[in-house]
Chain A
Amino acid sequence: MGQLVVNGLALGSIYALVALGLLLIFNTVQIVNFAQGQLLMLGAFIGISCAVTREMPVAAAWAVTMAAMALVGVVFMVLVYFPLRGRPAFLVILTTIAMGIVLENLALIIWGPLPVSLPSPVHGPPLRFAGVVVSMHQLFIFATLAVILFLQFVFLTKTRFGILMQATAQDLHTARLVGIPVNRTIAVAFAFGAVLSGIAGLLVAPIFLAEPTMGGSLGLKGFVVSVIGGFGNLPGAVIGGLFLGLVETFGARYISSNFRDAYAFIVMITVLIVWPRGLFGEKSSEKV
């Protein structure tokens, strides 16, 4: 049973990372990016192109991937956010879904459908204690999540730019009026959001392998986590992610493995019925 906890938490950490990327973008521009999973997939494949095809050292591959994903994030913003400013939410949803379809099929054309592996940045025998096995890579996933959370907290609350981003998130128009470089903060949000998903992809590929359709399911779980934790709420996303990872793993083990995907939705729907604003409440106010 302890093993279920370890594996559930590892999976949940991935979900949390996807949700964090989603929320970074959502907090700033009120867009839910339904292509977040495909960004994860892109990160994985860019990493593989570096580390496997070009045989770069894994650390260098990570650095290049993160830089590339930042660029992808900005391009994404230009293609999706600017043309759709002010449009109704569900047109934006459809647009990001369409972007996801484009990215997935381009990936199929470029890299083919065969699954590929990526080496992990960490090596070594797994830890064994109390009948539980924790691989080095799983520890790396936990560590990465912790580091990212810490850095994000420091950035958003302690640095000037981070505080500006929070202001922009709270009220875009006023922020602009007050002279905050709104476009820059939006670009940073998209860039970081993409990088976070790219990192998730780099973490996923060594254990789950990478193939172009991997983004759909992971992205969906990221949204579910965002809903459970309450949109806009970063700690909520992390707790929600870990929670979902555990629910799925325990549900598959003790209830039925057939309906694993359904557990995520059932939890989400239950949360929504009981707490329409998410478990931890959301930050943004109702737009009339």
Chain B
Amino acid sequence: MAHSAIKKWPVLAASLVAALAVPAIAQDGYVIQLLNIAILNAIVVLGLNFVTGWAGQINFGQAAFYGLGAYTTAIATKSGMPWIATPFLSAVVVIAASLVLGLPTMRLRTYYLAMTTIGFGEIIRLIIVHWEPITGGTSGLRAIPPISIFGIGPQGQAQHYYLLVATLALAVAAAFRIRHSTLGRAMIATKDSEIAAEQSGVDTTRTKLMAFMIGAVYAGLAGCLYASSIRFVSPDSFSGTQAILLMTMLIVGGMGSIPGCIFGAMALTILPEALRFLGQWYLVLYGLGVIAVIVLAPGGLASLAAQFRSRRAGAH
């Protein structure tokens, strides 16, 4: 385990340098704005990975946590709360929500859990849509105050980009640490076989709940940053369709793989923009593509990359 970690450092360093160089190369606002959204999605998908990739629990509620974080921040800052408090507030709100969702459902089996998380997401969306005085309803909330800590904050797309890259790096580091901790191993054991895990002394219910909460916190914090950088929120950005998209980002990138999460999020945020010329056909190809990945490469593109690497290693 330690070997593969050490081997990865050059790759990690190189990708970090490349990531930091992007704004210098791609000058324009559109590409950087798009990358910012992709990075936020990556953080959300990393959160989803705890629940689905490692603990093996299907979860279509991740978009709802993302939205809760975004709306909490938007409502709080528009009411005058200083920005510095909003990440904590968003985290508290999503933790509470994840407990509401998680506690009654931890013993549910796959199909029931899928339906329940879909239902949860839908109920949250309906509340946002109809609680118009607070959430702005379907019009959403605009002119959200930007990130500002003691009066200083990022100005312009490029500075937001650097901040988001830094946040993503932190998210990745935290995920890595958790993965190699007792909790992380418990998650994986739970996914492989709950009964066997219980036999080995793992409290699977608590593990699953922890995974849910951590996943929700990732999404909630990403939501906080979304609200403060895009500065506009509306319910359609956090709908059931988005929840499915997040799941497909995880699958396409590679469930259980940290770089897979980032790659999947990037790919499925950028592809729909790059392929806009396909019009309605894009969604047809997207669906077929997801099926192809699941059937042919269920470990996602990360597993393909690993296969490629081991084949090269084997060839030597």
User: Interface of A with B (CB < 8 Å)?
Assistant: 32, 79-80, 83-84, 87-91, 93-95, 97-102, 104-106, 108-109, 220, 223-224, 227, 231, 258-259, 261-262, 264-266, 268-269, 272-273, 276, 286, 288
- What does DSSP make chain A's interface, helix, strand, loop or mixed? helix
B9, CB-defined interface residue at 8 Å:
no
Quick one: CB contact mask for B119-131 with A, threshold 8 Å, 1 for yes? 1101100100010
Collect the chain A residues with CB atoms within 8 Å of residue B295's CB: 83-84, 95
What is the distance, in angstroms, from A44's C-beta to the closest C-beta of chain B?
19
Set of chain B residues within 8 Å of A84, measured between Cβ atoms: 294-295
Contact of B287 with A269 in the complex, beta carbons under 8 Å: no
Nearest opposing residue in chain B for A109, CB measure: B280
Q: With both chains docked as a complex, state the minimum distance between the C-beta of B204 and any C-beta of chain A, in angstroms.
A: 13
Also in contact, A106 and B111, with CB within 8 A (given A94-B294, A98-B290, A258-B130): no
Query: Assuming A91-B298, A261-B122, A288-B195, is B110 touching A109 (CB within 8 A)?
Result: no
By a CB distance below 8 angstroms, the chain B residues around A93 are: 58, 110-111, 114
CB of B14 to closest CB in A, whole Å? 32
4 shortest interchain CB distances as A-B pairs = A265-B119, A102-B287, A101-B287, A90-B58
For B130, the chain A residues whose CB sits under 8 A away are 258-259
Report the separation of the CA atoms of residues A261 and B109 in the bound assembly, to the nearest whole angstrom: 23
Contact (A101, B123) CB under 8 Å given A84-B294, A94-B251, A269-B116: no
User: Quick one: which of A32, A87, A102, A268 contacts B119, CB cutoff 8 A?
Assistant: A268
By size class, the interface of chain B is 35 or more
The CA of A83 and the CA of B290, in the complex, are separated in Å by 13
Which residue of B is nearest A104, CB measured? B283
Cα of A109 to Cα of B247 in the assembled complex, Å? 25
Assuming A94-B251, A98-B248, A265-B123, is B294 touching A106 (CB within 8 A)?
A: no
B111/A258 in contact, CB under 8 A: no
**B176, CB-defined interface residue at 8 Å:** no
Contact partner, A224, options B107, B115, B123, Cβ 8 Å:
B115
Residues of B that sit less than 8 Å from A by CB: 52, 56, 58, 104-105, 107-112, 114-116, 118-120, 122-123, 126, 130, 193, 195, 244, 247-248, 251, 280-281, 283-284, 286-288, 290-291, 294-295, 298
- Of A95, A109, A261, A268, which is within 8 A of B116 by CB? A268
| Cβ-closest chain B residue relative to A274 | B104
New A-B contacts (14) at CB < 8 Å, excluding given A98-B291, A224-B119: A32-B111, A89-B110, A93-B111, A94-B290, A94-B294, A98-B288, A98-B290, A105-B283, A258-B126, A259-B126, A265-B123, A266-B123, A269-B119, A272-B116
Residues of A within 8 A of B115 (CB): 223-224, 227, 268
Q: Inside 8 A of B122's CB, which chain A residues have their CB?
A: 261-262, 265
Complex interface: chain A residues within 8 A of B116 (CB): 265, 268-269, 272
A11 to chain B, nearest CB (A): 18
Chain A residues with CB under 8 Å of B195's CB are 288
Report the Cα distance A181→B223, complex, angstroms.
Answer: 52
CB neighbours (8 Å) of A262 from chain B are 122-123, 126
Majority DSSP secondary structure for residues of B touching A: helix
Provide the bound-state CA to CA distance between A224 and B114, in Å: 11
Residue of B114, B123, B280, B287 ringed by the most chain A CB atoms within 10 A: B287
* 15 contacts across the A-B interface (CB closer than 8 A): A89-B111, A91-B294, A91-B298, A93-B111, A94-B248, A95-B291, A102-B283, A105-B283, A259-B126, A261-B126, A262-B122, A262-B123, A264-B119, A268-B115, A268-B116
B280–A95 touching, CB < 8 Å: no
Using Cβ atoms and an 8 Å threshold, which residues of chain A touch B104?
269, 272-273
Q: Which residue from chain B places its CB closest to the CB of A83 in the assembled complex?
A: B295
- Which B residues are CB-close (under 8 A) to A97? 244
- Give CA–CA (A54, B284) in the complex, Å: 27
Instruction: Report the minimal beta-carbon distance from A261 to chain B, rounded to whole angstroms.
Output: 6
Residues in A neighbouring B288, C-beta threshold 8 A: 98, 102
Given the interface pairs A94-B251, A259-B130, A272-B116, the reply to whether A99 lies near B291 with Cβ below 8 Å is: yes
B residues less than 8 Å from A98 (CB atoms): 248, 286-288, 290-291, 294
Q: In the complex where A91-B251, A288-B195 touch, is A109 in contact with B281 (Cβ < 8 A)?
A: yes
Question: Could you tell me the distance between the alpha carbons of A97 and B280 in the complex, rounded to whole angstroms?
Answer: 17
Quick check: B248 and A220 within 8 Å, CB to CB?
no
**Bound complex: CA of A79 vs CA of B248, how far in Å?**
19
Residues of B within 8 A of A90 (CB): 52, 58, 110, 114
For residue A95, which residues in chain B have a CB less than 8 angstroms away from its CB? 290-291, 294-295
Residues of A within 8 Å of B286, CB to CB, are: 98, 101
Which residue of chain A is the closest to B109 with respect to CB atoms?
A286
CA distance A288 to B194 in the complex (A): 8
Q: In the docked arrangement, what's the CA distance between A87 and B195, Å? A: 19
B112 and A272 within 8 A (CB): yes
Residues of A within 8 Å of B244, CB to CB, are: 97, 101
Q: Once bound together, how far apart are the Cα atoms of A80 and B290, in whole Å?
A: 12
Which residue of chain B has its CB nearest to the CB of A26? B111
Shortest Cβ gap from A45 to chain B (Å)? 16
